[in-house]
């Protein structure tokens, strides 16, 4: 089901605080069905706080967030997860003592369109490693595993926090390929990134943040034509 205006996720003028310090100021953007929206900006711009606010891990002090037409702000994280949203934090957090298979299937829910076989079809590199422990994987393999864990419940919206962080360029390309393949699914993605090329290659739309506010919104096509419009918010002058 979608909101009345056909939007899957609606973030409407949200503020968020850490104690007395305000981290988000009037942040608004929306995500359509099967759309990939990239949130770009420097460290500290508020991207992670935005994802955490959607997931109910941070309290929204003003504004509202709706998913499939229902208000989710104010609900608890597990309820938000159950409504069809998965969050893959940048920390990756593999369960080190569990195997790759156990790590992925931890999130599986009856009725999910994504069973282990399906998930491994997107991450062929993991297929030969499913009995390894999470701690025995490389950073890139862990990233694939936690994306797999995020997919296992069968979300309609995946929140991905900096999947390319700390990975070698060849692995970043692989992450890009996986995200491109997921485009065939009934799945929308909010992708937080500092890697502009990766974001431009997989996103439909770009939302640029600075100091806790949205400072620009553009299509990926516009971003490819005018990368300088985004780069000025990514590099330090
Ligand atoms: N747990 C916290 N306690 C206090 N302030 C925080 C906390 N987490 C983030 N902040 C502050 O909130 C603001 C936004 O941070 P946030 O992590 O959302 O930015 P970001 O764009 O995701 O950057 P990064 O890529 O570094 O995660 C920053 O000023 C940051 O210092």
Residue 198 Cα, ligand 1 centroid: separation in angstroms?
22
The residue to mutate among 38, 45, 58, having the most atoms of ligand 1 within 8 angstroms of its beta carbon, is 45
DSSP letter for each residue of 50-80: HHHHHTTSS-EEEEEEEETTEE-TTS-HHHH
Q: What is the pLDDT of residues 156-207, one digit of tens each?
A: 999 999 998 888 888 888 889 889 988 889 999 999 998 999 999 999 999 9
- Smallest CA-to-CA distance from 204 within 39, 85, 6, 41 is with 39
Asked whether 155 and 85 are in contact (CB, 8 A), the reply is yes
The confidence score (pLDDT) of residue 94 equals 75
- What integer is the mean pLDDT of 52-76? 96
The confidence score (pLDDT) of residue 1 equals 63
Residue 158 Cα, ligand 1 centroid: separation in angstroms?
20
- What integer is the mean pLDDT of 221-235? 92
The confidence score (pLDDT) of residue 93 equals 76
Establish whether residue 18 lines the binding site of ligand 1, counting it when its CB lies within 6 angstroms of any ligand atom: yes
From atom 16 of ligand 1, which residue's Cα is the shortest distance away?
A: 46
Ligand 1, atom nearest to 212 Cα = 14
Q: pTM (2 decimals)?
A: 0.94
Residue 24 Cα, ligand 1 centroid: separation in angstroms?
10
Task: Please state which architecture CATH assigns to domain 7-84+156-231.
Answer: 3-Layer(aba) Sandwich (3.40)
Domain limits, the chain: 7-84+156-231, 93-148
Percentage of residues of the chain with pLDDT beyond 90:
70
Q: Which residue has the higher pLDDT, 180 or 27?
A: 27
pLDDT band per the 50, 70, 90 thresholds, residue 2: low
What is the ipTM score, two decimals?
0.94
């Amino acid at each position: 089901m979608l909101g009345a205006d056909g939007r899957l996720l609606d973030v409407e003028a949200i503020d968020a605080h850490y104690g007395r310090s305000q981290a988000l100021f009037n942040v608004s953007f929306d995500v359509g069905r099967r759309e990939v929206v990239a949130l770009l900006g420097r460290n500290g711009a508020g991207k992670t706080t935005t994802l955490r606010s959607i997931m109910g891990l941070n309290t929204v002090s003003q504004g509202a967030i709706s998913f499939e037409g229902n208000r989710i702000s104010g609900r608890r994280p597990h309820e938000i997860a159950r409504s069809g949203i998965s969050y893959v934090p940048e920390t990756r957090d593999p369960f080190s003592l569990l195997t790759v298979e156990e790590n992925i299937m931890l999130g599986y829910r009856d009725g999910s369109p994504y069973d282990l076989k399906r998930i491994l079809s997107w991450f062929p590199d993991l297929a030969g490693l499913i009995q390894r422990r999470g701690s025995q994987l490389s950073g890139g393999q862990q990233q694939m595993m936690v994306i797999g864990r995020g997919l296992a419940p069968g979300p309609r919206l995946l929140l991905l926090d900096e999947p390319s962080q700390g990975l070698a360029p060849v692995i970043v390309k692989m992450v890009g390929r996986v995200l491109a393949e997921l485009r065939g699914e009934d799945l929308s993605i909010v992708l937080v990134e500092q890697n502009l090329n990766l974001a431009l290659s997989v996103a439909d739309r770009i939302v640029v943040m600075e100091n806790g506010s949205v400072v620009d919104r553009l299509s990926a096509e516009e971003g490819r034509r005018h990368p300088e419009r985004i780069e000025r918010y990514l590099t330090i002058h």
